[in-house]
Chains A and B, each alone.
Chain A
Amino acid sequence: MKPILIKGAHIVDPSQKLNAVGSILIEEGKIAWLGTGNQKPPTDGYEVLDGKNLIAAPGFIDLHCHLRDPGQEGKETIATGTKAAANGGFTTICCMPNTEPAIDNRAIIDYVKNKAASEGAVRVLPIGCITRGRKGEALADMGEMAAAGAAAFSDDGNPVMNSRLMRQALDYSLAFGLPVIEHCEDKVLAENGQMNEGIISTRLGLQGIPAAAEESMVARDIALAELTGAHLHIAHVSTAGSVELVRAGKKRGVQVTCEVTPHHLTLTEEKVMGYDTNAKVNPPLRTQKDIEALIAGLKDGTIDAIATDHAPHTALAKSCEFAFAPFGISILETAFGMLMGLVNSGKIDLELLISKMTREPAAILGARWGKLGTLEVDSPADIVLIDPDKEWTVDAATFASKGHNTPLNGAKLKGKVVTTIYQGKIVFRE
Chain B
Amino acid sequence: MTTWHEDGSTLVLPPKAAVTASAWRHHHILDLDDFTADEIELVLHIADSMKEVLARPVKKVPALRGRTVMTLFYENSTRTRLSFELAAKSLSADVSNLTASASSITKGESLIDTLLTLESLGADVVIMRHPQSGAPNLAAQHIKGSVINAGDGWHAHPSQALLDMYTMKAHKGAVKGLKVTIIGDTKHSRVSRSNIWGLTIMGAEVTVCSPPTLLPVGLREPGDNFPRVRIEPDINKAIAGADVVMVLRLQLERMQTGLLPSMREYIQIYQVNEERLKLAKPDALVMHPGPMNEGLEISSGVAHGSQSVVNEQVTNGVAVRMALLYLLAGGKKA
Contacts and interface: CB of A to CB of B under 8 A. Distances in A.
A275 B138 contact: yes
Given A202-B216, A205-B153, A320 B225 contact: no
Contacts of B132: 321-324
Interface in A176-204: 197-204
A205 B111 contact: no
B20 interface: no
Contacts, number: 73
A376 B165 CA distance: 72
B105 to A, nearest CB: 12
Nearest to A203: B226
Interface residues of B, number: 27
B133 A204 contact: yes
B133 A198 contact: no
B133 A206 contact: yes
A200 B218 contact: yes
Contacts of B152: 205
A274 B154 CA distance: 15
A201 B133 CA distance: 10
B193 A199 contact: no
A197 B187 CA distance: 12
Contacts of B110: 319-320
A212 to B, nearest CB: 11
B219 interface: yes
A403 interface: no
A208 interface: yes
Contacts of A206: 133-134, 153-155
Given A320-B111, A324-B132, A205 B217 contact: no
Contacts of A200: 218, 225
Contacts of A197: 217
Contact of A205 (B112, B155, B219, B223): B155
Nearest to A319: B112
Interface string B206-219: 00000000001111
B232 interface: no
Among B133, B156, B216, B221, residue most surrounded by chain A Cβ atoms (within 10 Å) = B133
B140 to A, nearest CB: 10
A291 to B, nearest CB: 16
Nearest to A210: B217
A50 B156 CA distance: 58
A60 B304 CA distance: 70
A199 to B, nearest CB: 4
Nearest to B217: A197
Contact of B111 (A208, A273, A321): A321
Nearest to A200: B225
Report, nearest first, the 3 A-B pairs whose CB atoms are least far apart.
Answer: A202-B218, A205-B155, A205-B154
Interface of A: 197-206, 208, 210, 270, 273-275, 319-324
24 contacts: A198-B217, A199-B221, A199-B223, A200-B218, A201-B217, A202-B193, A202-B216, A203-B193, A203-B225, A203-B226, A205-B152, A205-B153, A205-B155, A205-B156, A270-B225, A273-B225, A275-B134, A319-B112, A320-B112, A320-B138, A321-B130, A321-B135, A322-B132, A322-B133
